[in-house]
Structure 1
Amino acid sequence: MKKITSKILSISLLTATLFMASSCVEDLLEQEPTTELGAAVFWRTEADATFALQGAYSSIRPLFDRDYYLDGHGEYVRTRGTSATNGNLRLGDAYQGANYNPVGYGASFDKMYRYLYGGVNRANYVIENTNRLLATANPSSVANLEAIVGEARLLRGMVYFRLISMWGDVPYISKVINDNSEVSDITRIPMAQVKDSIMADFTYAFEKLPVKGSAVGRAGKPAALAFRGKLQLYWASWNKNGWPELDTFTPSASEANTAYAGAAADFKAVIEDYGLALFRGGEPGPIDEIGKADILPNYYYLFTPVANGDPEMIMVFTHGGPGTNQGEELMRDVSGRSHEGSQCWVSPRYEIADRYQSTVTGDFVEPLIPMNPTTAGARTMPRSAVNPQSYADRDYRMKSSIMWDFERSIGMIALQSTGWVPFIYRTWNQPVTINGERLTSYNTDGTNSGYVFRKFLRNYAGQGRSEGNYNYPVMRLADVYLMYAEATNEISGPQADAIALVNKIRHRGNLPALAADKVAGKQAFFDAIEQERIIELLAEGHRGFDLRRWRAIERVWGAPYSDGVWRIDTHGANQQRYYQNTDERVYQQAYIFRIPPGERDRNPNLTQNTPWL
Structure 2
Amino acid sequence: MFGACNKYLDIIPDNIATIDYAFRLRSTAERFLFTCYSYVPDLGTFASNPALSAGDELWLPPTSSTQAWQIARGNQRVVNPYMNYWQGSSGANDIYEGIRQCNIFLENIALVPDMDDYEKKRWIAEVKFLKAYYHFWLLRSYGPIVLIKENLPVSAGPDEVKIPRSPVDSCFDYVVQLLDEAASDLPDKIDNEASELGRVTKAIDLSFKAYVLVTAASPLFNGNQDYKGFANRDGTPLFNTTVDPAKWEKAAAACKTAVEFCQSLGYKLYYYNPQLLQYDLSDTTMIQMNIRNAICERWNSEIIWGNTNSPATSIQASATPRGLDPAKSSNSGTSGSLAPPLKIAEMFYSNHGVPITEDKTWDYAGRFRLRTADSTDKYTLKEGYITAQLNFDREPRYYADLGFDGGIWYGQGHYDDKGSDLLYVSSKKGQPAAPINLAAYSTTGYTAKKLVNFNNVIGDGNTYTVQYYPWPMIRLADLYLLYAEAQNEVSGPGAEVYKYIDSVRARAGLPSVAESWSNYSRNPNKYTTKEGMRDIIHQERLIEMAFEGQRYWDLRRWKEATTELNKPITGWDLDQSEPAGYYRQRLIFNQTFTTRDYLWPLNENTILANSKLVQNPGW
Conserved 8 A contact 1:150-1:208 = yes
Following superposition, the deviation at residue 526 of structure 1 comes to 0.7
- Equivalences for residues 55-66 of structure 1 within 5 A: 55-62=35-42, 66=46
Following superposition, the deviation at residue 18 of structure 1 comes to 3.5
**Hey, what does 1:261 align to over in structure 2?**
249
- Equivalences for residues 13-162 of structure 1 within 5 A: 15=1, 17-19=2-4, 37-62=17-42, 66=46, 69-80=50-61, 96=67, 98-101=69-72, 103-105=74-76, 108-115=81-88, 118-134=94-110, 141-162=116-137
Following superposition, the deviation at residue 181 of structure 1 comes to 7.7
Tell me the alpha carbon deviations over residues 537-576 of structure 1, each in whole angstroms, 9 at most, x when there is no partner: 1111221222222221344366xxxxx6463437223223
Counterpart-to-counterpart distance in 1, 2:472 and 2:485: 21
Aligned length: 539
**Hey, what does 2:172 align to over in structure 1?**
195
- Equivalences for residues 535-546 of structure 1 within 5 A: 535-546=543-554
Conserved 8 A contact 1:401-1:454 = yes
Equivalent position to 2:363, from 336, 361, 366: 366
Single out whichever of 465-474 and 481-490 deviates more from structure 2: 465-474
Counterpart-to-counterpart distance in 2, 1:82 and 1:311: 39
Equivalent position to 1:576, from 588, 593, 616: 588
Counterpart-to-counterpart distance in 1, 2:391 and 2:282: 13
**Hey, what does 2:210 align to over in structure 1?**
229
| 1:318 counterpart letter in structure 2 | T
Question: TM-score, length-normalised on structure 1?
Answer: 0.76
**Hey, what does 1:88 align to over in structure 2?**
none
**Hey, what does 1:528 align to over in structure 2?**
536
**Hey, what does 1:400 align to over in structure 2?**
400
Following superposition, the deviation at residue 531 of structure 1 comes to 1.3
Answering whether residue 559 of structure 2 is matched by residue 551 of structure 1, we say yes
Equivalent position to 1:313, from 280, 303, 307: 303
The verdict on how the C-alpha distance between 1:252 and 1:493 changes in structure 2, with shifts beyond 3 A counting, is farther
Counterpart-to-counterpart distance in 1, 2:68 and 2:563: 28
Secondary structure in 2 matching 1:403? strand
The verdict on how the C-alpha distance between 1:19 and 1:445 changes in structure 2, with shifts beyond 3 A counting, is closer
**Hey, what does 1:7 align to over in structure 2?**
none
Structure 1, gaps ≥5 residues long: 1-14, 23-31, 85-94, 322-326, 414-418, 431-439, 559-563
The verdict on how the C-alpha distance between 1:181 and 1:452 changes in structure 2, with shifts beyond 3 A counting, is farther
**Hey, what does 1:461 align to over in structure 2?**
457
Once the two structures are aligned, what percentage of the paired residues are identical? Answer: 19
Counterpart-to-counterpart distance in 1, 2:62 and 2:259: 37
Conserved 8 A contact 2:52-2:548 = yes
| 2:498 counterpart letter in structure 1 | I
Conserved 8 A contact 2:371-2:389 = no
Conserved 8 A contact 2:45-2:315 = no
Following superposition, the deviation at residue 467 of structure 1 comes to 6.5
The verdict on how the C-alpha distance between 1:57 and 1:352 changes in structure 2, with shifts beyond 3 A counting, is same
Conserved 8 A contact 2:295-2:472 = no
When the two chains are superposed, the root-mean-square deviation of aligned CA atoms in Å is 4.1
Secondary structure in 1 matching 2:174? helix
Conserved 8 A contact 2:350-2:393 = yes
Question: TM-score, length-normalised on structure 2?
Answer: 0.75
**Hey, what does 1:593 align to over in structure 2?**
600
Following superposition, the deviation at residue 450 of structure 1 comes to 2.3
Counterpart-to-counterpart distance in 2, 1:395 and 1:446: 26
Counterpart-to-counterpart distance in 2, 1:79 and 1:204: 42
Following superposition, the deviation at residue 268 of structure 1 comes to 0.6
| 1:299 counterpart letter in structure 2 | I
| 1:268 counterpart letter in structure 2 | K
Counterpart-to-counterpart distance in 2, 1:610 and 1:34: 42
Following superposition, the deviation at residue 611 of structure 1 comes to 0.2
Conserved 8 A contact 1:330-1:468 = no
Counterpart-to-counterpart distance in 2, 1:124 and 1:595: 19
**Hey, what does 1:606 align to over in structure 2?**
613
Single out whichever of 229-238 and 126-135 deviates more from structure 2: 126-135
Conserved 8 A contact 1:287-1:295 = no
| 1:224 counterpart letter in structure 2 | D
**Hey, what does 2:470 align to over in structure 1?**
471
- Equivalences for residues 384-463 of structure 1 within 5 A: 387=387, 391-409=391-409, 422-427=424-429, 430=432, 446-459=441-454, 460-461=456-457
The verdict on how the C-alpha distance between 1:178 and 1:111 changes in structure 2, with shifts beyond 3 A counting, is farther
Single out whichever of 361-370 and 160-169 deviates more from structure 2: 361-370
| 2:552 counterpart letter in structure 1 | G
Tell me the alpha carbon deviations over residues 289-348 of structure 1, each in whole angstroms, 9 at most, x when there is no partner: 99xx799421111222x2x22242111211597xxxxx7321133234557533444221
The verdict on how the C-alpha distance between 1:576 and 1:81 changes in structure 2, with shifts beyond 3 A counting, is closer
| 2:183 counterpart letter in structure 1 | F
Conserved 8 A contact 2:162-2:610 = yes
Following superposition, the deviation at residue 392 of structure 1 comes to 4.6
| 1:394 counterpart letter in structure 2 | R
Following superposition, the deviation at residue 59 of structure 1 comes to 3.0
Counterpart-to-counterpart distance in 2, 1:457 and 1:56: 30
Secondary structure in 2 matching 1:300? helix
Counterpart-to-counterpart distance in 1, 2:388 and 2:163: 58
The verdict on how the C-alpha distance between 1:552 and 1:470 changes in structure 2, with shifts beyond 3 A counting, is same
The verdict on how the C-alpha distance between 1:35 and 1:353 changes in structure 2, with shifts beyond 3 A counting, is same
Tell me the alpha carbon deviations over residues 416-472 of structure 1, each in whole angstroms, 9 at most, x when there is no partner: xxx975322334554xxxxxxxxx989785323221121112332289779662110
| 1:330 counterpart letter in structure 2 | I
Single out whichever of 160-169 and 330-339 deviates more from structure 2: 330-339
Counterpart-to-counterpart distance in 1, 2:267 and 2:365: 35
Secondary structure in 2 matching 1:595? coil
Counterpart-to-counterpart distance in 1, 2:491 and 2:5: 46
Answering whether residue 184 of structure 2 is matched by residue 207 of structure 1, we say yes
Conserved 8 A contact 1:288-1:294 = yes
| 1:452 counterpart letter in structure 2 | T
Counterpart-to-counterpart distance in 2, 1:251 and 1:575: 40
Conserved 8 A contact 2:6-2:31 = no
Conserved 8 A contact 2:60-2:443 = no
Counterpart-to-counterpart distance in 2, 1:154 and 1:575: 44
| 1:109 counterpart letter in structure 2 | Y
Counterpart-to-counterpart distance in 1, 2:480 and 2:457: 34
Secondary structure in 2 matching 1:78? coil
Counterpart-to-counterpart distance in 2, 1:61 and 1:557: 24
**Hey, what does 1:244 align to over in structure 2?**
226
Following superposition, the deviation at residue 109 of structure 1 comes to 2.8
Counterpart-to-counterpart distance in 2, 1:64 and 1:391: 28
**Hey, what does 1:166 align to over in structure 2?**
141
Equivalent position to 2:316, from 314, 331, 334: 331
Equivalent position to 1:301, from 293, 309, 314: 293
Following superposition, the deviation at residue 212 of structure 1 comes to 0.7
**Hey, what does 1:89 align to over in structure 2?**
none
Following superposition, the deviation at residue 362 of structure 1 comes to 5.1
Conserved 8 A contact 2:86-2:96 = no
Following superposition, the deviation at residue 141 of structure 1 comes to 1.7
**Hey, what does 1:342 align to over in structure 2?**
334
Counterpart-to-counterpart distance in 2, 1:241 and 1:345: 40
Conserved 8 A contact 2:367-2:389 = no
Counterpart-to-counterpart distance in 2, 1:117 and 1:192: 25
The verdict on how the C-alpha distance between 1:350 and 1:98 changes in structure 2, with shifts beyond 3 A counting, is closer
